[in-house]
Every structure is written in structure tokens, then in C-alpha cells.
């Protein structure tokens, strides 16, 4: 049954928590679930189908040579032309930048065992001020961390090929030329947007002059995730991240990738689905709380879809709803706290803790106490309902987007039925107690002709980057990105598929 007809259903499915006799509490739940508060987060199946249809159209716009420049979903060619075939091998370095930490890894791909081994790795924190500082500072920091690592591994004399997982939207010109379109997820270093990130990295290494690197392959984390799962399961043709940010990639037919020369075979497309809605196409499902989150973010007006889904924002959406319920005296007897009023203080990980099956209510109560709130039992239940409603919306929106990809692959290949695997990673997917189940159940409803296996990636950003480098070496394929042009939309060219 579709749970989100009204969030009340989820509350009353916990009827043991709400004594029937207590009509006052029932009334409270009714008012919280009415149009003003939680109902706008509840998307019907029909609405999700509509969202999927809009995304389908945006995929075509993003791929089109003439429509790409205005498309909110960028559908970026990755120059990854093949998934692993199991014959890759060798030693690689991998860099992973995309969250609050930066990682350096030494990875070995062992053909005989079909294994990707992490030999060693090191984490370097990226301080908040560096996330908002200059690009030169950031890349000097990266080059310094890599230098320390090479020394510690006794690798400084070697020039190993390097896979660079850089989890931001980049226009990739070639496998080793990648222009940052925009920062996301709290990064905003000056002088990097519009520049080739590989060049910035190499320049920082040259500034040091104490070591060198071999060929570089640029990788989005979705691609790394797909490729790391692809070594284990060769039908893995989709990579998805639901963590600090959200995004997915998949193998598209070259003949549909209008911006890259060549018609044969396939290429992995980094959808950058986080940008879905940046042209206003999701206005009808954005709530007042989503609009505040967007307004307060450092990249207002962009990555609309991501802001409704990913870990960077979910906690803040919950906080804003709780603030409003408190102001309207429906929570904590109208008594707020400094912590609740402070942006960022309700962390996304709290949502997972509060929704835990057995200890959720107790966790909620501990969290509320830590936030300086005076709660009663009913408050903790309401908070749990708010968390459930907002994380469910996130899972369902992701499901709608994933179903769009799966359906597209199926239609591309002229199949009645598609069996495929998606490699997944990200803290929201991994850590939330119901997220993955909810996502899978919704995908089944939205893409009934697709049978999707979900494989949680083991270190896609590290091992996957090495795998991309290895496959690139194996194929040594080169394609050239064609110039974009203004003009007739080529959406229609694909509309009937």
C-alpha cells in the first residue's frame, strides 16, 4: 500500500503509540499532517510518475547538442567507454575529493583474483575555511597530502597512473581534461569554476617539484561507484550516490550522446541529476521549507533536486519544520531552544537515529534533550513523524529518478524487460534504517519492467577511480567533445523513444 496518501497512516500504523482514547493527541497529529506542515512532502505515485516524465525530458535536453547549454540536468559525457571486463591490472594512486575529507589511496588491481585491493590510504581533513578559500590553497593542500602519502608508502620515485575522484559537476573534455562547472555541497573555492581541474592539480604538484604523477583519469564518484561494482558484477551499468550530495551515472548509447563524436558503443553519462528543477520545473513540489534551505545555501537557485534529497540538507529541512511546529505551539509547548533555532544544528544523522526501529523514540528523546528542548512523549513521536515524512520523500524522489534511468536504458535497448545492477554509495543510503527499502519498493512501482539489483559499493571513490584509470589504459580510447551550438532544440529527436 502507498504509505504517503497521508502521513497519518504511518502514525496510525503505530497505533500502539497513540491511545485511541486520547483524542487530543489524535487531533494534534491531524493538524500536523494537514496542508500547512507535512502534507506538501507527501508525493502521490501519480506525482512521482510526473516527476519521472519531466526528468526523462530533461535527460534528452541535456544530451542534445543544441539543447544542452540551457538544460538543467547536464548529462555530462565522462569518456568512460566501457565497464570493466576483468582483465584490468596494475598499481594506481587514487585521490578522492567530494566531502569534508580528502583521501589518498594506493590501489592494486589483481587480475588473477579479479580483486581491487586497497594497499593503503590516508585521510586529510579539509578545514571549513579552505572549502571557501582560494583554489590555489586547496590544490596546494591536496598536493601536500599526496606528497606525504608517497613518502609514507615509499612510492615517491615511481610515477603511477592516478585516478582523481572529483565529485562535482565537471564538463569533461577528455578523460584527463575536466572543467569545473560549479561547486556544490558547501565548497566554494575561488578561481576554480570554469578551469581544468587536472591542470590545477598538476600545477600544484609542479609548484612543489618534489614528485611527479603518471597519466590522470578524472572520475565522478558515481562513475567510480559503478566501476568498482562493475568489476564484481559486469551487468552493473548504473552508479548512484545518496550521501552529502546526490547524483547518478549510467551507460548511454553513443548515438544518443550528441555532443561527442562517434555513433558506436556506449559511454557513461554523469547525469548530475542534482540540478533537476533549476529551471523551475519542480516548483509545484517544493515546499516553503525547501525554499528557505535554498535561500540560505551558498549556491542559491542551483541543485534544486539535490536540496530536497541529500544529506547536506535533510537535517536542515527537518529543523525548519520543527521550528515552525514549535512557533505554532504544536511542539514542546511552544518553547524553542537556541540550538533548535540555529541552522545546521539538527544533523542529518539524527534522522537515521530517530527512525531506528527499536530505539528510535529513545534516540529522539536523547537528541531533543541535547538540543536543549523540554519534551513530552508526544513531542518525540511528532519529531519521528517529521523525520519519516522528509526521509520518505527523499527516497521516493530518488526512486523516481532511478526509475527514469532504468526505463531509459530498457527503451534504448528495445527490451520489454531489463535486468540490471546499480552500484550505490552514500551515507544516507547506507545509514538510514528504511531509506533503501523505501527506494527499492518505489522503483518497483515506477519501473515495473525493470528488475534492478542494488549493490552497495565498497569504496567506489577510491577503488573505482583506479578501475576507471585501468579501463582507460586498457582501451586507450580517445574521443573528442564537439562544440555546442545554439539553435533548434533536439529534444524532439528523441521524444518518441
Minimum CB distance to ligand BGC smaller for 87 or for 300: 300
With vertex at residue 183, the alpha carbon angle to CA 320 and CA 399, rounded to the nearest 5 degrees, is 60
Q: From the candidates 221, 278, 290, 379, give the one annotated as an active-site residue.
A: 221
Q: How far is the CB of 168 from ligand BGC (least distance, A)?
A: 5
Among 72, 77, 84, 98, interactor with ligand BGC by CB under 6 A: 98
* Sign, CA torsion 6/9/14/18: positive
Taking the mean position of all CA atoms in its chain, how far away is CA 167?
9
Say which residue the cell 519521472 belongs to.
Answer: 52
Establish if 184 lies at the interface with ligand BGC (CB under 6 A): yes
Piece in contact with ligand BGC (CB under 6 A), picked from 37-45, 239-247, 391-399, 487-495 = 239-247
Among 221, 316, 388, 494, interactor with ligand BGC by CB under 6 A: 221
What are the two backbone dihedrals, phi and then psi, of residue 463, each rounded to the nearest 5 degrees? Answer: -70, -35
| Half-sphere exposure (Cβ direction) of 100: Cα atoms closer than 13 Å | 8
Burial 372-409 (b: 16+ CB within 10 A, else e): ebebeebbbbbbbbbbbbbbbbbbbbbbbbbbbbbbbb
What are the two backbone dihedrals, phi and then psi, of residue 128, each rounded to the nearest 5 degrees? Answer: -50, -45
Q: How far is the CB of 348 from ligand BGC (least distance, A)?
A: 14
**Residue 185 annotated to the active site:** yes
Establish if 423 lies at the interface with ligand BGC (CB under 6 A): no
Among 56, 103, 185, 319, interactor with ligand BGC by CB under 6 A: 185
What are the two backbone dihedrals, phi and then psi, of residue 189, each rounded to the nearest 5 degrees? Answer: -80, 135
**Residue 423: closest CA among 461, 467, 456:** 456
Q: How far is the CB of 167 from ligand BGC (least distance, A)?
A: 4
Q: From the candidates 56, 65, 74, 185, give the one annotated as an active-site residue.
A: 185
The secondary element (H helix, E strand) that includes residue 412 is helix 377-412
Minimum CB distance to ligand BGC smaller for 185 or for 396: 185
Establish if 103 lies at the interface with ligand BGC (CB under 6 A): no
Q: Do 340 and 308 contact (CB within 8 A), yes or no?
A: no
Establish if 241 lies at the interface with ligand BGC (CB under 6 A): yes
Q: How far is the CB of 267 from ligand BGC (least distance, A)?
A: 17
Determine the Cα–Cα distance for residues 405 and 414; give it in Å rounded to an integer: 14
Minimum CB distance to ligand BGC smaller for 28 or for 251: 251
**Residue 424: closest CA among 243, 287, 299:** 243
Q: Please list every residue from 191 through 220 that binds ligand BGC, using CB under 6 A.
A: 220
Q: How far is the CB of 219 from ligand BGC (least distance, A)?
A: 10
Burial 89-103 (b: 16+ CB within 10 A, else e): ebbbbbbbbbbeebb
Q: How far is the CB of 247 from ligand BGC (least distance, A)?
A: 3
**Residue 404: closest CA among 77, 44, 53:** 53
Piece in contact with ligand BGC (CB under 6 A), picked from 14-22, 142-150, 194-202, 241-249 = 241-249
Piece in contact with ligand BGC (CB under 6 A), picked from 116-124, 240-248, 315-323, 416-424 = 240-248
Q: Please list every residue from 120 through 179 that binds ligand BGC, using CB under 6 A.
A: 167-169
Establish if 315 lies at the interface with ligand BGC (CB under 6 A): no
Minimum CB distance to ligand BGC smaller for 276 or for 346: 276
Q: Do 166 and 98 contact (CB within 8 A), yes or no?
A: yes
Burial 180-218 (b: 16+ CB within 10 A, else e): bbbbbbbbebeebeeebbbebbbebbeeeeebebeebbb
What are the two backbone dihedrals, phi and then psi, of residue 26, each rounded to the nearest 5 degrees? Answer: -60, -45
- How many chain residues touch ligand BGC (CB under 6 A)? 17
Q: How far is the CB of 268 from ligand BGC (least distance, A)?
A: 13
- Taking CB positions, which residue lies at the least distance from ligand BGC? 245
Q: Do 249 and 239 contact (CB within 8 A), yes or no?
A: yes
- The mark string for 244-283 relative to ligand BGC (x by CB under 6 A, - otherwise) is -xxx------------------------x-x---------
As annotated, the active-site residues are 185, 221
Task: Using CB under 6 A, list all residues that contact ligand BGC.
Answer: 98, 167-169, 184-185, 220-222, 241, 243, 245-247, 272, 274, 306
Amino acid at each position: 500500500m502507498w504509505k504517503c496518501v497521508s502521513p497519518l497512516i504511518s502514525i496510525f500504523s503505530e497505533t500502539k503509540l497513540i491511545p485511541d482514547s486520547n483524542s487530543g493527541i489524535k487531533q494534534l497529529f491531524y493538524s500536523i499532517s494537514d496542508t500547512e506542515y507535512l502534507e506538501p512532502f507527501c508525493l502521490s505515485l501519480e506525482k512521482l510518475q510526473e516527476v519521472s516524465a519531466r526528468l526523462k525530458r530533461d535527460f534528452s535536453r541535456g544530451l542534445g547538442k543544441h539543447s544542452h547549454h540551457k538544460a538543467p540536468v547536464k548529462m555530462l559525457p565522462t569518456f568512460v567507454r566501457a565497464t570493466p571486463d576483468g582483465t584490468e591490472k596494475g598499481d594506481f594512486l587514487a585521490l578522492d575529493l567530494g566531502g569534508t575529507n580528502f583521501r589518498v589511496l594506493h590501489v592494486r588491481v589483481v587480475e588473477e583474483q579479479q580483486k581491487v585491493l586497497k594497499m593503503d590510504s590516508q585521510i586529510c581533513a579539509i578545514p571549513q575555511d579552505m572549502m571557501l578559500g582560494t583554489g590555489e590553497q586547496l590544490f596546494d593542500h591536496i598536493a601536500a597530502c599526496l606528497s606525504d602519502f608517497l613518502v609514507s608508502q615509499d612510492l615517491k620515485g615511481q610515477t603511477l597512473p592516478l585516478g582523481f575522484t572529483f565529485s562535482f559537476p565537471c564538463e569533461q573534455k577528455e578523460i584527463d581534461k575536466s572543467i569545473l562547472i560549479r561547486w556544490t555541497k558547501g565548497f566554494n573555492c575561488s578561481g576554480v569554476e570554469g578551469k581544468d581541474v587536472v591542470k590545477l592539480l598538476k600545477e600544484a604538484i609542479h609548484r612543489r617539484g618534489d614528485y611527479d604523477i603518471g597519466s590522470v583519469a578524472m572520475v565522478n564518484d558515481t562513475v567510480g561507484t559503478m566501476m568498482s561494482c562493475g568489476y564484481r558484477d559486469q551487468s552493473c551499468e548504473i552508479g548512484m550516490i545518496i550521501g552529502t550530495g546526490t547524483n547518478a551515472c549510467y551507460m548511454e548509447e553513443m548515438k544518443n550522446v550528441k555532443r561527442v563524436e562517434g555513433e558506436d558503443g556506449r559511454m557513461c553519462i554523469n547525469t548530475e541529476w542534482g540540478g533537476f528543477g533549476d529551471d523551475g520545473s519542480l516548483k509545484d513540489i517544493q515546499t516553503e521549507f525547501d525554499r528557505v534551505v535554498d535561500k540560505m545555501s551558498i549556491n542559491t537557485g542551483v541543485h534544486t533536486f539535490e536540496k530536497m534529497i541529500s544529506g547536506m540538507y535533510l537535517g536542515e529541512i527537518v529543523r525548519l519544520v520543527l521550528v515552525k511546529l514549535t512557533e505554532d505551539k504544536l511542539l514542546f509547548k511552544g518553547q524553542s531552544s537556541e540550538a533548535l533555532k540555529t541552522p545546521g544544528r539538527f544533523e542529518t544523522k539524527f534522522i537515521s537515529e530517530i527512525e531506528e526501529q527499536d530505539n528510535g523514540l529513545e534516540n529522539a528523546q536523547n537528541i531533543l534533550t541535547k538540543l536543549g528542548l523540554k519534551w513530552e512523549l508526544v513531542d518525540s513521536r511528532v519529531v519521528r513523524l517529521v523525520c519519516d515524512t522528509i526521509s520518505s520523500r527523499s527516497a521516493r524522489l530518488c526512486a523516481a529518478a532511478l526509475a527514469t534511468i532504468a526505463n531509459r536504458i530498457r527503451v534504448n535497448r528495445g527490451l520489454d524487460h531489463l535486468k540490471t545492477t546499480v552500484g550505490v554509495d552514500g551515507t544516507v543510503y547506507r545509514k538510514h534504517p528504511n531509506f533503501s527499502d523505501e527506494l527499492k519498493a518505489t522503483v518497483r512501482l515506477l519501473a515495473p519492467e525493470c528488475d534492478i539489483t542494488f549493490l552497495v559499493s565498497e569504496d567506489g571513490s577510491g577503488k573505482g577511480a583506479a578501475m576507471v584509470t585501468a579501463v582507460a589504459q586498457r582501451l586507450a580510447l580517445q574521443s573528442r567533445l564537439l562544440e555546442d551550438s545554439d539553435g533548434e532544440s533536439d529534444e524532439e529527436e528523441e521524444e518518441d523513444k
